[in-house]
Amino acid sequence: MYHKRHNLYIMLEDEDVDWYWDESEVIEFDRMFNEGATVLELSQHFCRPTVEIALLTIDRDLKGMLGVCQHSN
């Protein structure tokens, strides 16, 4: 649903994000995440900023690829 907005905030407007990942990196990311690697560990391992790790985490979670427990309210 569309809501009229007056003072727009554009998220990630100032971030220089590399949206592309090699498929082998994504598979390795899934494995490491599911084994308990932290965002900082993943960031250091893949030499990427934490914002890119966070975005891939969201993407992979939405696709059901991460072993994240989801609780219904």
pLDDT tier at 48, thresholds 50, 70, 90: very high
Question: Residue 44 corresponds to which amino acid?
Answer: Q
pTM for this prediction: 0.80
Indicate the pLDDT class of residue 45, thresholds 50, 70 and 90.
very high
Which residue would you say has higher pLDDT here, 54 or 11? 54
Whose CA is closest to 55, among 25, 17, 22? 17
Segments making up each domain of the chain, as ranges: 23-62
- Asked if 26 and 59 touch (Cβ cutoff 8 Å), the reply is no
Contact (CB, 8 A) for 31 and 65? no
What are the tens digits of pLDDT across the range 12-34?
A: 888 899 999 999 999 999 999 99
